[in-house]
Amino acid sequence: MQLEEILTPDRCQCNMDGVSKKRILNNISELISKNIDALEAPEVFNALMEREKLGTTGLGNGIAIPHCRVAPCDKIIGSLISLAEPIDFDSVDGKPVDLLFALIVPEQKTDEHVQTLAALATLFNDEDFCFTLRHTNDGEDLYNVAVTY
């Protein structure tokens, strides 16, 4: 998986404000729907929230990979976010989250969904990668770091 296949600079945002998991997922849903005509923010938000009810997508070490399947989606879509302040995300290690990679996947792309999640988890397990993302100050730089790492 190459990140430039699923990510664009306008779906990357640095220092997003948010006080809760719900607010951040809403903001991400709006960011994605603004960029993808076939997707409506409420539909994306509801799918992300339903997925969170199954179990947290907070991996630990300040990282979360919220993901869901959305019927109108015809390709895998990613959004990379750094937060202005870490928030509680019910992460497995109990630590707050400050880096998120949201993943929206077509309903029928089961294998690709799992492979993409695994690749993202491996990437975000790299401390140097996460350090660099945390010290990036705009969305375009965030995108450039992600696709060239």
Question: Which tens digits make up the pLDDT trace of 113-132?
Answer: 788 999 999 999 999 999 99
Q: What is the pLDDT of residue 113?
A: 79
Domains along the chain?
3-148 (3.40.930.10)
Residue 67 catalytic? yes
In the predicted model, is pLDDT for residue 48 greater than 90?
yes
Is the entire prediction scored with pTM above 0.75? yes
Q: What is the pLDDT of residue 64?
A: 97
Percent of the chain clearing pLDDT 70 (strictly above): 98
Catalytic residue chosen out of the listed positions 11, 21, 67, 113: 67
User: Is-contact 126 91, C-beta < 8 A?
Assistant: no
Rounded mean pLDDT of 2-10? Answer: 92
Give 99: exposed, middle or buried? Use CB within 10 Å, 0-12, 13-18, 19+: buried
